[in-house]
Structure 1
Amino acid sequence: MSPLNTDDLHRIFEKLDRNGDGLVSLDELQWLLERIGVHTGLDELWSLVGKTSLDCIDFFFFYDSIIKQNLKGDDEEQSEDREGDNDDLESDLAKAFKVYDLNGDGYISCEELQSVLSRLGLWNAHCGKDCRRMINVYDTNSDGLLDFEEFKNMMLVSNP
């Protein structure tokens, strides 16, 4: 599965959102998944998503998690060839964290996250204005900020 760009994801989201309410229901998501050959029941889909509908941001996270799981599966098949990759991965994640931690305080705030996503072209009016939800998904200590470990969990798509 090759990753789609943001514009492609917006178009898919808008086509799935048949009633124009800014949400994609699990039925609509299930319809899409079946079209690409992924057959899953609504109960299983609900357990993966954790809610009955997805807004644009949730849809992007869902897509991103599928891509990362697919890439992770490919990596596991080649793990014998990659002994030093954990150190490389940790280093890459630390560099990425510094990109988001604009003030260098060791935490990523909502404002920093939105600023970086805006500069990358990944944040616009379609996705709403509240990034607190994005942070809260991985904010295990509920301080409203992401520290490095929480950021790492987010990037590796571990369940919070």
Structure 2
Amino acid sequence: MSLLGTGDLCRIFENLDKNGDGQVSLEELKWLLEKIGIHYSMDELESSINKSSLDFDELLYFYDSISSEETVRSDELESRESNEGDVDQETDLVEAFKVFDLRDDGFISWDELQSVLSKLELWDKRSGGDYNSMIRAYDTNNDGKLDFEEFKSMMLFTIS
């Protein structure tokens, strides 16, 4: 799991806090966690949080705790054979692809990319970002969208 900074978490929190009351409900938290590939049942969230909503500091604490769990899991996975690591990386990439593939058609279009990055406030329209050029840079078959292999190339290039 990629660790997010406090600034990233603050933007995400503000985006989730639709009514501006300084709280994020467990339903909103569950939605966010599922979008990033972490699955908790409502019962699990309720028992671990013991509240119906979280303020920003509580979200930071919760994020730190699940990041620690993921770090322990990652350390355990790294101790396995390296080909298992490749499988885990592939699984993570499949989950990430699903987040962007809003139409669930096996492709990521520029508007899907724009929508997800904008919702997470990781792309600002005012900064002059061009989603089409981002797609074109990795679109090897020139169909105007990214399939999984093209997305994988983009992500592995970004990581390395």
TM-score when scaled to structure 2? 0.47
TM-score when scaled to structure 1? 0.47
